Amino acid sequence: MSDIYEKNRCLYRDDGTFWLDDWEFNRPTFFTGYVNEYFSRKVDKVKENNSEFLELLHKKVFRKNKKEITRLFVVEKGKKNKKLHTHLIIETPIHLSKKDFERFVLKSWLETKGGIKSYDFTPVYYLPDLKEYLGKDQSIKTELGVDEINSYTNKSVSINS
Protein backbone atom coordinates (compact mmCIF):
# COMPACT_ATOMS: atom_id res chain seq x y z
CA MET A 1 0.00 0.00 0.00
CA SER A 2 1.31 3.46 -0.87
CA ASP A 3 2.14 6.10 1.75
CA ILE A 4 -0.51 8.40 0.28
CA TYR A 5 -3.14 5.67 0.61
CA GLU A 6 -2.18 5.02 4.23
CA LYS A 7 -2.20 8.74 5.09
CA ASN A 8 -5.49 9.53 3.36
CA ARG A 9 -7.28 6.19 3.51
CA CYS A 10 -10.69 7.90 3.80
CA LEU A 11 -10.19 9.38 0.30
CA TYR A 12 -10.39 5.91 -1.22
CA ARG A 13 -13.36 3.59 -1.65
CA ASP A 14 -13.27 -0.01 -0.54
CA ASP A 15 -12.30 -1.00 -4.09
CA GLY A 16 -9.28 1.35 -3.99
CA THR A 17 -10.65 4.04 -6.31
CA PHE A 18 -10.11 7.69 -5.44
CA TRP A 19 -13.63 9.07 -4.86
CA LEU A 20 -12.62 12.71 -5.50
CA ASP A 21 -12.08 11.66 -9.12
CA ASP A 22 -15.87 11.77 -9.50
CA TRP A 23 -15.48 15.54 -9.80
CA GLU A 24 -14.41 16.31 -13.36
CA PHE A 25 -13.25 19.76 -14.40
CA ASN A 26 -12.34 21.06 -17.85
CA ARG A 27 -11.68 24.71 -16.98
CA PRO A 28 -11.12 24.69 -13.21
CA THR A 29 -10.75 27.79 -11.08
CA PHE A 30 -9.09 27.26 -7.69
CA PHE A 31 -10.08 29.78 -5.04
CA THR A 32 -9.16 30.06 -1.38
CA GLY A 33 -11.44 32.31 0.64
CA TYR A 34 -11.04 33.40 4.22
CA VAL A 35 -13.80 34.46 6.59
CA ASN A 36 -14.06 37.00 9.38
CA GLU A 37 -13.38 36.18 13.03
CA TYR A 38 -17.00 35.30 13.80
CA PHE A 39 -17.31 32.82 10.93
CA SER A 40 -13.82 31.33 11.38
CA ARG A 41 -14.69 29.65 14.68
CA LYS A 42 -17.22 27.02 13.54
CA VAL A 43 -17.36 24.73 10.54
CA ASP A 44 -21.14 25.20 10.30
CA LYS A 45 -20.68 28.96 9.93
CA VAL A 46 -18.13 28.47 7.13
CA LYS A 47 -20.53 26.12 5.34
CA GLU A 48 -23.33 28.66 5.79
CA ASN A 49 -21.08 31.28 4.21
CA ASN A 50 -20.27 28.88 1.35
CA SER A 51 -23.99 28.45 0.71
CA GLU A 52 -24.60 32.20 0.64
CA PHE A 53 -21.63 32.60 -1.71
CA LEU A 54 -23.09 30.02 -4.11
CA GLU A 55 -26.44 31.78 -4.27
CA LEU A 56 -24.77 35.12 -5.02
CA LEU A 57 -22.45 33.60 -7.63
CA HIS A 58 -25.25 31.71 -9.36
CA LYS A 59 -27.28 34.92 -9.74
CA LYS A 60 -24.31 36.63 -11.39
CA VAL A 61 -23.36 33.75 -13.68
CA PHE A 62 -26.68 32.29 -14.79
CA ARG A 63 -29.35 34.81 -13.82
CA LYS A 64 -32.56 32.73 -14.21
CA ASN A 65 -31.04 29.44 -15.40
CA LYS A 66 -31.22 26.56 -12.90
CA LYS A 67 -28.00 24.97 -14.16
CA GLU A 68 -25.57 23.82 -11.47
CA ILE A 69 -21.84 24.50 -11.61
CA THR A 70 -19.55 21.56 -10.83
CA ARG A 71 -17.71 22.48 -7.65
CA LEU A 72 -15.82 20.98 -4.77
CA PHE A 73 -15.74 22.90 -1.47
CA VAL A 74 -13.31 21.94 1.26
CA VAL A 75 -13.26 23.47 4.75
CA GLU A 76 -9.83 23.48 6.31
CA LYS A 77 -8.14 24.82 9.43
CA GLY A 78 -4.94 26.83 8.95
CA LYS A 79 -1.79 25.27 10.35
CA LYS A 80 -0.38 28.50 11.80
CA ASN A 81 -3.37 30.64 12.75
CA LYS A 82 -5.83 27.73 13.30
CA LYS A 83 -8.58 29.71 11.52
CA LEU A 84 -11.07 28.00 9.25
CA HIS A 85 -11.15 28.84 5.56
CA THR A 86 -12.57 27.48 2.31
CA HIS A 87 -10.82 25.95 -0.68
CA LEU A 88 -12.90 25.67 -3.81
CA ILE A 89 -12.36 24.07 -7.20
CA ILE A 90 -15.13 25.29 -9.46
CA GLU A 91 -15.77 24.81 -13.15
CA THR A 92 -15.53 28.02 -15.16
CA PRO A 93 -18.76 28.22 -17.19
CA ILE A 94 -18.19 27.94 -20.91
CA HIS A 95 -19.83 31.31 -21.65
CA LEU A 96 -17.36 33.23 -19.44
CA SER A 97 -13.66 33.95 -19.65
CA LYS A 98 -11.52 32.87 -16.68
CA LYS A 99 -10.88 36.52 -15.85
CA ASP A 100 -14.59 37.44 -15.83
CA PHE A 101 -15.49 34.37 -13.79
CA GLU A 102 -12.79 35.10 -11.20
CA ARG A 103 -14.20 38.62 -10.93
CA PHE A 104 -17.69 37.16 -10.24
CA VAL A 105 -16.25 34.71 -7.71
CA LEU A 106 -14.44 37.44 -5.79
CA LYS A 107 -17.38 39.86 -5.89
CA SER A 108 -19.73 37.13 -4.62
CA TRP A 109 -17.32 36.12 -1.84
CA LEU A 110 -16.95 39.69 -0.62
CA GLU A 111 -20.74 40.17 -0.62
CA THR A 112 -21.25 37.32 1.87
CA LYS A 113 -21.62 38.02 5.57
CA GLY A 114 -18.37 36.22 6.38
CA GLY A 115 -16.15 36.76 3.32
CA ILE A 116 -13.18 39.09 3.76
CA LYS A 117 -10.55 40.59 1.44
CA SER A 118 -8.16 37.78 2.23
CA TYR A 119 -8.31 35.40 -0.71
CA ASP A 120 -6.22 33.72 -3.35
CA PHE A 121 -6.69 32.44 -6.90
CA THR A 122 -4.15 29.75 -7.77
CA PRO A 123 -3.59 28.37 -11.28
CA VAL A 124 -4.39 24.67 -11.61
CA TYR A 125 -1.56 22.81 -13.34
CA TYR A 126 -2.21 19.23 -12.29
CA LEU A 127 -5.68 18.42 -10.97
CA PRO A 128 -4.91 15.01 -9.35
CA ASP A 129 -2.34 16.61 -7.01
CA LEU A 130 -4.75 19.38 -6.13
CA LYS A 131 -7.48 16.88 -5.26
CA GLU A 132 -5.03 14.94 -3.10
CA TYR A 133 -4.04 18.18 -1.34
CA LEU A 134 -7.67 19.12 -0.73
CA GLY A 135 -8.38 15.73 0.78
CA LYS A 136 -5.66 15.97 3.40
CA ASP A 137 -8.06 16.90 6.22
CA GLN A 138 -10.88 14.60 5.10
CA SER A 139 -11.84 12.29 7.94
CA ILE A 140 -14.96 10.74 9.37
CA LYS A 141 -13.68 11.83 12.81
CA THR A 142 -13.90 15.56 12.10
CA GLU A 143 -16.18 18.07 10.40
CA LEU A 144 -13.26 19.35 8.33
CA GLY A 145 -12.84 18.30 4.73
CA VAL A 146 -15.31 18.19 1.87
CA ASP A 147 -18.35 20.42 2.35
CA GLU A 148 -20.78 17.87 0.94
CA ILE A 149 -23.81 20.15 1.20
CA ASN A 150 -22.34 22.81 -1.07
CA SER A 151 -20.25 20.63 -3.39
CA TYR A 152 -21.80 19.37 -6.62
CA THR A 153 -20.95 16.92 -9.33
CA ASN A 154 -23.35 15.60 -11.93
CA LYS A 155 -22.26 12.09 -11.00
CA SER A 156 -23.54 10.06 -8.09
CA VAL A 157 -20.77 10.14 -5.50
CA SER A 158 -20.41 7.56 -2.80
CA ILE A 159 -17.40 7.07 -0.61
CA ASN A 160 -17.80 3.32 -0.19
CA SER A 161 -19.37 2.05 -3.41
Q: What is the 3-state secondary structure (H, E, C) of 136-161?
A: HHCCCCCCCEECCCCCECCCCCCCCC
List the domains of the chain with CATH numbers. Answer: 3-146 (3.30.70)
Look at residue 17 and give its three-state secondary structure. Answer: coil
Tens of pLDDT along 41-86? 899 999 999 999 999 999 999 877 777 888 989 898 888 888 899 9
- Model confidence at 102: pLDDT above 70: yes
Task: Report residue 8's pLDDT band, with 50, 70 and 90 as the boundaries.
Answer: low
- The mean per-residue pLDDT over the stretch 97-104 comes to 96
| pLDDT (0 to 100) of residue 13 | 52
Q: What is the pLDDT of residue 159?
A: 45
Residue ranges with strand state E in the chain: 28-35, 71-77, 84-91, 115-122, 145-146
CA-wise closest residue to 43 among 135, 133, 150, 136: 150
